[in-house]
Amino acid sequence: MSRVRALLCREPNAALEIAEIELPAPGPGEVRVRIAAAGVCHSDLSMVNGTLAAPYPLVLGHEAAGVVLEAGPGARVGVGAHVVLDWAPPCRTCWFCTHEQPWLCETGGVPAAQRGTVDGQPLHVTLGLGALAEEVVAPDSAVIEVPAALPFADAALLGCAVLTGTGAVHRTAGVRPGESVLVIGLGGVGLAAVMAARAAGADPVIAADLSEAKRELALAAGATHFLVSGDELSSGVRSLTGRRGADHALECVGRAAAIRAAWRATRRGGQVTVVGMGAKDDLLTLGALEIFHNARTLRASVYGSSDPDRDVPALAASVLDGTLDLAPLVTDRITLEQAPAAFTRMSRGEGARSIIQFP
């Protein structure tokens, strides 16, 4: 049993607090990881505000990287390994895994798991990890080894924002050179999608957000144009795409209104990819005639349609060889004590990724 500090949410919409928790020793096939860097992701905020149902008390966090401190019997990753956490480890045996869709694994991506205690009471951890903590204990299938030369802050981003955003562009949407791309919502995932679209040779790459303050972030990530989301978004996109609309629109917010805006801004025969995770009661309405007439494709991208065991090492190699620069995604480097303020900024739509750096 180890005692560590973690960011805790005791109930929906409650004030976040730093609490001391107790984690069990790793069992067979499990590892204990010292967290070195962790990102503050919008999915964590959805756990806080009740958009996503979860049991409480809950340790937040799922996007992180660190070093293996202890390995249980039979663990495939050894002590000292630098690892990225994987919040949706595939089982490799279910129907989806054996049909080349591990991102839809029947056992992956559970909202929360019970692990350890706080104040003597059972504790739950976000997406089986609870990574906004000094340490985590997790199955060895939930960690991916990366080169020790990879900076921890970059490694942390690979586990969620970068894998999701780049995968949505390359693997789900299949963006090709010369195609036009619209990205709505410029958090960490949206900015990663902008970077991937530019790398894929898309032109134009149009970034949109409710906040004008995201303009410089979007341009730094590779957008050719920035538009403020609103009633005029569709006409603005059409003015940049020969009056047709975008070949691809990626919605990285997770709201019906934003999906509808992406749909309206896409050309006939184009593709709309929903990347953001929304609430189950936020309903989207489309007319039967407009679906037929516009011949657009509407689909979701779960975890970037990626296989983390394959794609995280490839992304790590791209960071190390200089072809993937993640600096535009990080707007704040903070301590664990500053994490509650980072959640407040994120709820206001400010900045991109806040990275917690642990001593």
Q: In whole angstroms, what is the distance from residue 249 CA to residue 247 CA? A: 7
**What burial class does residue 323 get, using C-beta atoms within 10 Å of its C-beta: 0-12 exposed, 13-18 middle, 19+ buried?**
exposed
Average pLDDT rounded to a whole number, residues 109-119: 89
Q: In this structure, what CATH number is given to the domain that contains residue 36?
A: 3.90.180.10
* CA angle, residues 12, 14, 17, in degrees to nearest 5: 120
Range of the domain at 128: 2-145+326-357
Q: Are residues 221 and 295 in the same domain?
A: yes
Q: Are residues 65 and 188 in the same domain?
A: no
Q: Is residue 153 part of a domain?
A: no
Phi and psi, residue 9, nearest 5°: -115, 120
- Rounded to the nearest integer, the mean pLDDT of the chain is 96
pLDDT band at 54 (very low <50, low <70, confident <90, very high): confident
Q: Which residue has the tokens 């690979």?
A: 158
Tell me the per-residue pLDDT of 128-172, one tens digit each, with 9 for 90 and over.
999 999 999 999 999 999 999 999 999 999 999 999 999 999 999
- The tally of domains found in the chain comes to 2
Residue 16 tokens read as: 């976040």
Q: Are residues 43 and 122 in the same domain?
A: yes
In the chain, which residue ranges form alpha helices assigned H by DSSP?
Answer: 42-49, 95-98, 152-157, 163-167, 188-199, 215-221, 233-239, 256-264, 288-294, 308-320, 339-347
**Which of 302, 318, 342 lies at the terminal end of a domain, its last residue?**
302
Q: Are residues 297 and 340 in the same domain?
A: no
Does the pLDDT value for residue 270 go beyond 90? yes
Residue 249's pLDDT is: 98
Collect all residues with Cβ–Cβ distance below 8 Å to 188 and sequence separation of at least 6. 39, 41, 42, 157, 160, 161, 162, 165, 329, 352, 353
Average pLDDT rounded to a whole number, residues 240-260: 97
Does the pLDDT value for residue 108 go beyond 90? no
**Predicted TM-score of the model (pTM):** 0.94
Q: Is residue 282 part of a domain?
A: yes
Q: In whole angstroms, what is the distance from residue 78 CA to residue 262 CA? A: 45
Residue 111's pLDDT is: 84
Go through 338-351 and write b for each residue having 16 or more CB atoms within 10 A of its CB, e for each that does not.
ebbebbeebeeeeb
Does the pLDDT value for residue 110 go beyond 90? no
Q: Are residues 140 and 178 in the same domain?
A: no
Q: Are residues 343 and 242 in the same domain?
A: no
- Grouping H, G, I as helix, E, B as strand and the rest as coil, residue 267 is strand
DSSP 26: P
Q: Are residues 108 and 206 in the same domain?
A: no
pLDDT band at 198 (very low <50, low <70, confident <90, very high): very high
**Which of 268, 286, 302 lies at the terminal end of a domain, its last residue?**
302
pLDDT band at 243 (very low <50, low <70, confident <90, very high): very high
Contact indicator for 162, 187 with CB cutoff of 8 Å: no
Q: Is residue 181 part of a domain?
A: yes
Contact indicator for 349, 209 with CB cutoff of 8 Å: yes
Contact indicator for 6, 21 with CB cutoff of 8 Å: yes
Q: Are residues 234 and 131 in the same domain?
A: no
- Prior bond of 26 cis (ω within 30°): no
Q: Are residues 169 and 294 in the same domain?
A: yes
Q: In this structure, what CATH number is given to the domain that contains residue 279?
A: 3.40.50.720
Q: Are residues 222 and 263 in the same domain?
A: yes
Q: Is residue 261 part of a domain?
A: yes
Cα 195 to Cα 27, 131, 189, 220, distances in angstroms: 40, 26, 10, 9
Lowest mean pLDDT among 43-52, 189-198, 217-226: 43-52
Q: In whole angstroms, what is the distance from residue 303 CA to residue 312 CA? A: 12
Tell me the per-residue pLDDT of 298-320, one tens digit each, with 9 for 90 and over.
999 999 999 999 999 999 999 99
Residue 29 tokens read as: 């096939």
Q: Are residues 18 and 80 in the same domain?
A: yes
Q: Are residues 6 and 90 in the same domain?
A: yes
Residue 123's pLDDT is: 95
Q: Is residue 307 part of a domain?
A: no
Q: Is residue 158 part of a domain?
A: no
Q: In whole angstroms, what is the distance from residue 113 CA to residue 2 CA? A: 18
Does the pLDDT value for residue 274 go beyond 90? yes
Q: In whole angstroms, what is the distance from residue 60 CA to residue 195 CA? A: 27
Tell me the per-residue pLDDT of 1-49, one tens digit each, with 9 for 90 and over.
789 999 999 999 899 999 999 999 999 999 999 999 999 998 899 989 8
Report the DSSP pairing between strands 330-334 and 353-357. parallel
Report the DSSP pairing between strands 30-40 and 181-184. unpaired
Residue 276's pLDDT is: 95
Q: Is residue 320 part of a domain?
A: no
Q: Is residue 293 part of a domain?
A: yes
